[in-house]
Amino acid sequence: MESQWSHKNRVYPILSCFSVIFLLYLNFGGNIKIPILWQQHLSFVGTNSTRFVVSDDVGEESSVYVNGWNSYWLMEESVWENSRFRVSKMMKRGAQMGMTVCRTWAFNDGNGPNALQISPGLFDEKVFQGLDFVIVEARKNRIRLILSLVNNLEAFGGKGQYVRWAKEAGVNVTIDSFFSDPTIKGYYKNYIKAIVTRKNSLSGVKYSEEPAIFAWELMNEPRCASSSSAPVLQAWITEMAAFIKSLDDKHLVTVGLEGFYGLKAINRSSVNPGEWAASLGSDFIQNSAVENIDFASVHAYPDSWIPDADMGEKAIYLSNWVDSHVNDGEYVLKKPVLFTEVGSSFLVNKQESYDRDFFLKMMYDKIYESAKKKEAGAGALIWQLLIEGMGGYGDRFSLVAWNHPSTYNLIIEQSSRLRSLFSKSKTNRKLEQFDRC
Ligand SMILES: *[C@@H]1O[C@H](CO)[C@@H](O)[C@H](O)[C@H]1NC(C)=O
Ligand SMILES: *[C@@H]1O[C@H](CO)[C@@H](O)[C@H](O)[C@H]1NC(C)=O
Ligand SMILES: *[C@@H]1O[C@H](CO)[C@@H](O)[C@H](O)[C@H]1NC(C)=O
């Protein structure tokens, strides 16, 4: 009898504690936000001449060479509770593959589903909370994000949406006015400000103070094709990079270029994938040389840029493309060069993933050689990774990595050999020890 009572006495307080939590849950409709009390310690990534670097607590610097990936869909899938697991899983699997950087869209403009910016300066808080979630998940897995701020292409609104907004406001503009019209530049600056000064609703950390952000990217693949447009794009990059730095001097800034050489880079025109590439208003050297641009970005798509070439020709093209940009980073720009999209189709021929692996391995080998010499080829990000059941986000360059063992193994090998290069330095030993906790 006695012992029974004393047992019950211990149970009641516990039950009542549960019921208080349950009542709280009912009162807040299940929307209680449990604050994040502890986060991974990360330091900001910086540059020292042609290298990315991180410093430890005592200021000792170590080099960073990146193996990373693209998943443009993270914010979109974080808006609603029932799809967030995809983001968590992608981050976790990315980290397990030894990757350290993920590039993703921090934009969705217009009146499409889950738009972040519904009209100029008007934001959907629920979508912003999705982006908050992406950043928290990245940090949890020690992944740093490259956040792209607007699209040159139509997907998720892009520059076309900004131009439509200006037209609706009665401004006389064409598509390339995106880069020069004062009204549109004002919209874009307001957007930058809203993002960069955002305070994360889950962690309480301001985006400008968040070390899990690797860099801001001005635009995905800027092109400005109207005649004599090169100075227009150049001026836009200069103005917008300075604007970001005025709000946030802790983070790196890059352009988001495909890497084409412009009309004036005459001795490099043979490196471009075709004559067309020089007349898109961009120039890799000039654009990347802008003072507030901390590192150069380049994409690589042999299958879509020279679709009619055979394997051998594509291989020669890719090899020259990578060497030329790394040399420019090393000797002309004196900045790191990051290959932020590396895509190869596995639909081009029937040899399963052989072609993709071939191009990816060529890229990875060149980055590894650069890392061994501590040169400007600072890393590569595969385009793009999904998890299972996401067909809607696919293109012919997308894959669920672990379902393609040869590609999966390539990625993991690249991560581990880059890591082992620097594991001898004291800082990296410390970082690795930290990684294991
Ligand atoms: C940059 O790297 C050079 C060469 O390794 C080194 O001597 C210098 O101290 C580094 N700069 C800073 C600010 O750490
Ligand atoms: C709009 O601008 C174009 C080119 O600058 C000009 O030719 C046209 O007359 C303008 N239209 C109006 C309605 O002002
Ligand atoms: C192109 O010319 C520049 C300046 O004259 C030179 O530094 C560079 O090495 C040349 N590049 C190639 C690929 O020949």
In a domain, 175, yes or no: yes
pLDDT of residue 27: 42
Is any ligand 3 atom within 6 A of the Cβ of residue 268?
yes
Ligand 1 atom at minimum distance from 55 CA: 14
Give the whole-number percent of the chain exceeding pLDDT 90: 78
Q: Counting atoms of ligand 1 from 1, which one is nearest the CA of 61?
A: 14
Count of the separate structural domains present in the chain: 1
Residue 221 a catalytic site member = yes
- Find the catalytic residue in 76, 137, 258, 341: 341
Q: Would 28 be classed as within a structural domain?
A: no
Name the residue at shortest CA distance from atom 10 of ligand 3.
Answer: 267
In a domain? residue 73: yes
pLDDT at 211: 97
CATH code: domain of residue 87: 3.20.20.80
pLDDT at position 11 is: 43
**With a cut of 70, which residues of the chain have pLDDT below it?**
1-35, 227-228, 346-353, 424-437
- 322: in domain: yes
Residue 3 lies in a domain: no
- How many angstroms separate the CA atoms of 329 and 338, rounded? 10
285 CA distance to ligand 3 centroid (A)? 11
pLDDT (0 to 100) of residue 225: 87
pTM for this prediction: 0.89
Q: Is residue 296 part of a domain?
A: yes
Return the pLDDT at 153.
Answer: 95
How far is Cα 60 from Cα 425, in angstroms, rounded to an integer?
10
Q: Which residues of 38-75 are buried (b: 16+ CB within 10 A; e: fewer)?
A: eeeebebbbbeebbbbbebeeeeebbbbbbbbbbbbbb
Helices within 28-49 (DSSP H only)? none
Q: Quote the ligand 1 centre to 164 CA distance (angstroms).
A: 47
Q: Residue 375 falls within a domain, yes or no? A: yes
Give the pLDDT of residue 77: 97
pLDDT of res. 38: 85
User: Is 210 an active-site residue?
Assistant: no
Query: Can you give the pLDDT at residue 437?
Result: 30
Pocket test for ligand 3, best of 261, 264, 266, 267 (most atoms within 8 A of CB): 267
Task: Write out the residue range of the structural domain in which residue 75 sits.
Answer: 35-436
**Is the distance from the beta carbon of residue 48 to the nearest atom of ligand 1 less than 6 Å?**
yes
pLDDT of residue 354: 72
Residue 228 lies in a domain: yes
